Amino acid sequence: MRSWPKRSPQVDQGNVGITFVDVLFALVIGEILEPLRQFDAIPGPGRAHLALAALLTLASWIGYHNSHNRPRHFIRFPNLPLLQFMLDIGMVIAYWLTAVTAEGAGDRPSSRPEATAVAVSFVLYVLWDVVAYRIRRDDRYYRRPLARDVPARRDVTRWAAAGSVVIGVYSLVAHPRSAAAVYLVDALLVLLVVGFRLLKEYVTVDDPFAEGDLPSDESTATSASGSSLTQGHLPPSAA
């Protein structure tokens, strides 16, 4: 997918897409915290479910803000940052579904909702990585040079997604309803989320955007094709 004709990718200094996604993250956290007002009434599986939702959401928010692949350019209709933005929204919706499906008082335990939502989240991660890689391969997005790509991070995402799908399919087919079975599935999902985040950090030996790697001129930058692109002010993270 190419940007709209005659409109080169430009850095969005207002971070409109990132700000909107942050608002959605806040709404999810609100859904996680709201049931805690009656904590004693939440059954054990519901508490485990909420804990998983909190971990999934917070880990994703941290990873999103630490990612050098997050949207930095203006969202156009259509362009690759728009597709990335839509995937971001899809992920946060999956986190919201993880939170709102937690068992309440009188609900029968089930691991289907959280296992399905986590599997959907990881599949969206894989798609997000595909779009981010496409952006790196496009010379016009000069702040995402292909030379700084870390393929091992995508490999980790694929393996984690495969594991989440296995757990999700098991929950859909076997449909465990006992509290002990739900605890086990939720524990496996927690280990998957934590292991995924740790492995992504482990395979990233060096910061691919260390200081000095980006163009020093804060007014313009030249792509590999030789065209001049308006860069604007670089944020302090230089991500």
- Show the tokens assigned to 132: 């981010």
How many whole angstroms separate alpha carbon 42 and alpha carbon 39? 5
How many whole angstroms separate alpha carbon 122 and alpha carbon 193? 9
- Please tell me the predicted confidence (pLDDT) of residue 73: 64
Please give the biggest Cα pair distance in the chain. Answer: 65
Domain ranges within the chain, ordered by starting residue: 16-205+215-230
- Please tell me the predicted confidence (pLDDT) of residue 224: 38
- Please tell me the predicted confidence (pLDDT) of residue 214: 47
- Please tell me the predicted confidence (pLDDT) of residue 225: 38
- Please tell me the predicted confidence (pLDDT) of residue 238: 33
pLDDT in 10s for each residue of the chain, 239 residues: 444 445 565 555 545 556 888 999 999 999 999 999 999 999 999 999 999 999 999 999 998 888 776 666 667 778 888 899 999 999 999 999 999 999 998 899 999 999 999 999 999 999 999 998 988 888 777 666 677 788 999 999 999 999 999 999 999 999 988 999 999 999 999 999 999 999 999 998 765 444 434 443 333 333 333 433 333 333 333 33
- Asked if residue 2 lies in contact with residue 79, where contact means CB atoms within 8 angstroms, the answer is yes
Phi-psi bin for 117: left (phi > 0), alpha (psi -120 to 50), beta? Answer: alpha
Model-level pTM? 0.80
